[in-house]
Copies of this chain bind each other. A is one copy, B any other.
């Protein structure tokens, strides 16, 4: 008999933002059950979290080392299949590496890790172990993002000339890290976040989205990063000129000091035949701007879209799906692929679509290059 995929979790104790998101994303489609976790650096907090998630006390662990080693010793029919890592950046590498080394598949929050050395090592480990590794660049999970990618792949908008990708937020407009707001505290701390602030936190989402949708790779960039809030150690704003491998040009800007902006990741791609525009905050809409005819508003569930779109939607047109559903698409695709592996089947191509450790390596590299560029007097830095 088929069974649900079993998930363990590192981090994400009660009250954490992204941990709860991962749990809902995992639960939505009924393919995955949470069976164990090490939810906090405080064993007491971890225990309380486990109770809240209705877990057996024996499977709530004090730390990730215990989680991995003890789960490994459970019978195959019981132990977790994969671990979901939802800790701050500096605690990605440790559990990911150990999980892989012990035969567990991994889903990891982005950015991949703390520095390039960790990134390359994780990439190598994934290749060597042959295990599944998903990175939650969740915005690529939206149906209309997949429509955009499919349209470009199929040449519907011609050769790409220009890409504008933006990620404005406003929540760090003041020195929020001086309060006890956890999200702000670690994200602005170079010891936990790495060498970049907004560029690591959201700039990498923008970079990943642009490359995912266009199928192009950034080859050169020119960046101007700023820490606008006095006393902040990492960038809270960045403007970047881009050049792509096919000769296209572009602009990427990401910011956490754009007062009043919520979470407006958006992208415009212009080809020789048409332009595309997508906004994360209105995710079921993809605008197609044709050169010589009326604009079209593509909508999840309406008309002839590429098969990718409906394969990643759950309800009919006009019933809005959002952030959690897009996030859940990564979990569901991962679960489908893992199920196929458990069954000894090839995964279905349409579901074999989630960001991998390689997206993570590219993201880490983007962070390095954008910081280097900002510190340089040279105009262009090669990526």
Contact = CB atoms under 8 A, between A and B. Distances in A.
A155 to B, nearest CB: 14
A117 interface: no
B290 A260 contact: yes
A323 B315 contact: yes
Interface string A162-198: 1010101111011000000000000000000000000
A77 to B, nearest CB: 14
Contact of A316 (B4, B30, B263): B263
Contact of A376 (B54, B291, B317, B379): B379
What copy number does this chain have within its complex? Answer: 4
Contacts of A292: 303
B324 A321 contact: yes
Contact of A320 (B168, B281, B288, B293): B281
A291 B34 contact: no
B239 A249 contact: yes
Contact of A314 (B262, B296, B324): B324
Interface of A: 1-4, 17, 20-21, 23-24, 27-30, 34, 51, 53-54, 157-158, 161-162, 164, 166, 168-171, 173-174, 222, 224, 226, 228, 237, 239, 241, 243, 249-251, 253, 255, 257-264, 268, 270-275, 280-283, 288-299, 301-304, 314-325, 376-380
